[in-house]
Structures are given as C-alpha cells and as structure tokens.
C-alpha cells in the first residue's frame, strides 16, 4: 500500500498547486476524497485511457463535482489527457478543464456535476442500462455526506434497491463538513450506513484513508446477495496537510505560495 500512499501524496500536491495557481476553492473537499479516487483508478476501475468511450467500460461518476481537481489530477496521471494541459489551462477561460466538470470535457469525465444530488441517479440509470444491454460492467458514484441532504439521493437509493442492481456502488465521502457547518448539525444524516442498509443496500463502513480497508470493501463488490453496495468512508476534510485538516475554512480559502511549500513538505514532496 506504500505505492498508493506515495501516489496519493503526489495527487494532493497537484490539487494544492492547482488551487493556488487558478485561485479556485473546494480544496478541503478535494483532499478528503483523494485516497478513494486513487484506489479506484489504480486498482479497481476497468477503463482504458486510450479508449475512454468503450461501451463496456466501468463508469465512475463524481457526484461531488466541486472536488473535480482530484479527479482531473488522477485522470491526467493515468494518461487520459496530458498533464501539461492540466498545469497550463485548468480553470482558464475556454479551457477543457472547468472548475466544475462538464460531460466529456476531457476523456474520463462521464457527467456534468457540481449541482449536488444527481450523481447517484445517473449511476443508477447507467447500471440499469448496462443490465438491459447485457454489458458486464461496474458503475460507481462518489457522493459527499452533505450531498445526502438531497432527497434525490434517497429516491435513487430506493430505486436501485428495488431494481436489484448489484453492479452499482455508492461511495460516500463522510468528511463531516459541508459549506456552512458540520454535516451532523445541518441535518441528522447519521447513521448513514444503517440508513443505506434499511433502503436495501449491502453496506460497509470504513476508514476512507486506509488503502487496505478501501481495497477490501471494493473487492467485495458486487455482493452475491444481488443488492447494490454502499461504502460509507469516514474521511478528514483537508487530509494530508495538518494545517488544513478538519478546518472548514479550506472549503473556500485559497493557499498562498508559502502554504503550498509547507504543504509539500508535509506530503514528503519538498
């Protein structure tokens, strides 16, 4: 797992650099889900960067689209598009790499997201379409905990269970913050794992920064019960940099040059 940890550190460094360079927010949210996205793309998603529209591919929907810098960084590193393009054009006017993702803006971006609450419904539809077309592929949606405030998430959860879609996996990045406060103080979200289970899902609760735990949960999917799978991943907003961790100011704050250097030192990349 050391290789994955090193890889994830490089992704976090890139995300911090991009936030500083382009003056874009949502840094803490991007850092909390980095390990989950790295684990998916390095070990579990069956997608060919050179044939990103293959109809038999696995699909990944970043429902929490405000964290797209992490996904861009992983896609570039995996060869879906040039890393130089990310460095030079991210969030620039006319760029293929907007601050919130647009469907097919670059290879590997499956949907336009950022307006929260839609990703699980999209993933449910794709999982159903795959079954109808006899396509043996997995479909993943990465949600935020605050996003689970949206009723559309639970409509999709009920639908997926009723349709018995075992190739559908929802991963909830539970960093315990949303834009204006603690998630638990905004709405009574917990216990999320029990709620998904009560909706008819096979449910796991894990440490979302423990690569062994992430791998174990993803490797158990699809479950032989035929139920869709929900992985409730406890994470830390701003993970990887001590002065950003669990500090909701980094939902909107932009790092200055000195903070970028300090962050890279903590990540072991200075």
What is the chain's pLDDT, residue by residue, as a tens digit (270 residues)? 889 999 999 999 999 999 999 999 999 999 999 999 999 999 999 999 999 999 999 999 999 999 999 999 999 999 999 999 999 999 999 999 999 999 999 999 999 999 999 999 999 999 999 999 999 999 999 999 999 999 999 999 999 999 999 999 999 999 999 988 999 899 999 999 999 999 999 999 999 999 999 999 999 999 999 999 999 999 999 999 999 999 999 999 999 999 999 999 999 997
**Entry pTM:** 0.97
Phi and psi dihedrals of 108, rounded to 5? 100, -15
- How far apart are alpha carbons 143 and 31 in whole angstroms? 14
Dihedral Cα 158, 164, 165, 170, nearest 10 deg: 40
Whole-number pLDDT of residue 1: 81
Angle at 194 between CA 189 and CA 198, to 5 degrees: 110
Can you give the pLDDT at residue 24?
Answer: 97
DSSP 8-state secondary structure symbol assigned to residue 174: E
Establish whether the linkage from the previous residue to 191 is cis, with ω within 30° of 0.
Answer: yes
**Residue 235, pLDDT score:** 98
The pLDDT assigned to 180 comes to 87
Classify 228 as helix, strand or coil: coil
Rounded Cα distance between 18 and 25, Å, is 10
């Amino acid at each position: 797992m050391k290789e994955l940890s090193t890889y994830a550190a490089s992704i976090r460094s890139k995300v911090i650099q991009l936030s500083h360079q382009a003056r874009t927010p949502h840094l803490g949210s991007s850092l909390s889900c980095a390990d989950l996205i790295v684990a998916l793309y390095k070990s579990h998603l069956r997608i060919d960067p050179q044939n990103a529209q293959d109809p038999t591919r696995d699909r990944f929907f970043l429902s929490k689209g405000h964290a797209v810098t992490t996904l861009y960084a992983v896609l570039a590193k995996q060869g879906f598009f040039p890393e130089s393009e990310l460095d030079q054009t991210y969030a620039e006017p006319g760029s293929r790499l907007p601050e919130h993702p647009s469907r097919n803006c670059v290879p590997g971006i499956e949907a336009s997201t950022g307006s929260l609450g839609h990703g699980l419904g999209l993933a449910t539809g794709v999982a159903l379409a795959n079954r109808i077309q006899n396509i043996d592929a997995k479909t993943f949606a990465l949600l935020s905990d605050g996003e689970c405030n949206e009723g559309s998430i639970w409509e999709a959860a009920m639908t997926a269970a009723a349709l018995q879609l075992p190739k559908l996996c929802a991963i909830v990045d539970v960093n315990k913050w949303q834009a204006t406060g603690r998630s638990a103080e905004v709405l009574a979200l917990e216990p999320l794992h029990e709620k998904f289970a009560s909706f008819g899902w096979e449910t796991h609760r894990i440490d979302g920064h423990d690569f062994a735990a992430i791998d174990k949960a993803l490797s158990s999917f699809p479950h032989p019960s035929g139920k869709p799978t929900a992985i409730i991943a406890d994470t830390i907003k701003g993970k990887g940099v001590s002065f950003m961790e669990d500090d909701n100011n980094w939902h909107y704050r932009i790092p200055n040059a000195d903070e970028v250097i300090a962050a890279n030192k903590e990540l072991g990349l200075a």
